[in-house]
Structure 1
Amino acid sequence: MGGGGDDSHNTFISFIQAVSNTLDAPVTWFRESVVTKNRPQYPWYHRQFRRVPTIDECYTDDVVCFIEANEQFKRDRMVDNEVLNILRQRQEDCILYEATDHKEKCAGLMEVYDKAAENWFIKYGDLGVYGTVVDAYMKQKHRMIWERRHGPVGSGMKDSLA
């Protein structure tokens, strides 16, 4: 009695495997052999451009180098803006979700966002919409001079008699 059921079960499994081999195997072969081998691999969520020389590597009369450095600066700023927006959204979602316990449960996320916002402001703050790579470079230079003379920003001024 039990032997007849096993034969029909084995026949059914063989039928399913035959259908799978007929329909799925060519599609799988084509995807693995043709599609994935010819598709470029992007490890990032956004398009990556070739890095160009930064503004401090450009000659003063090299207009093309300035334009390339400025375009790269604008792309980097857009990426940094999006990263900051994602961190802000995660922080707001955590605060909304955790409600009364958000100060303890979202502390790590809030710290990461605050540090990212501070770094963003150090690099791009007070430049405005039309700030260029030269403006950012001058801002960085002035900050480095300030820190050499007075210590890190926010730590209080060191004694000027030393």
Structure 2
Amino acid sequence: MKKILFLIMFLLFIGCSNIQNRDTENINNLRICEKYCDNWELDKLESELQKIQNKDLVKKFEKCLEEKILYKKELDNFLQKIIISIKNNQISEIEDKFQNSISNKKIIKILKNSDFSEVNIIFSKPEFYKKTAKNKVAFIFLEEVIYLSIDYKIINGEWRIIRVKDGRE
């Protein structure tokens, strides 16, 4: 009788420890996927999702993956629009994409009063974190180069320029 009782207790403990291992695995998978999603490490997120057994967790982060891919493309398109608008001196086309601040108003005024048709504009690859991105832009005219650092944020589903500052910092 004691042996049977001992066997039942032993099996109960083994079964409960297995549940705890699955919960720990789900928590670890959740943390890893959140980190990859927040840091826009989309290739790593995609490969991690292929390893995960929990379908609800996979669905959640597949949605995140699709959203981030879309926003990445939208930022690329936005950067191209900025280049075209600045080179064609059509600042009014991108003026509403700047967050309303005093420093951004000064930048818009400078852009409107300058001729950038002969300027070469080069953007660095954006660095992403959560719903923000930042990169450097170089305005090259003959031998003169002006660097700016630009911060973007997704506001109401669109990329907005929230801050422009000296890029030499």
TM-score, normalising length: structure 2? 0.28
Q: More helix per residue: 1 or 2?
A: 1
More strand by share: 2
Which is higher, the Rg of structure 1 or of structure 2?
Answer: 1
TM-score by length of 1: 0.29
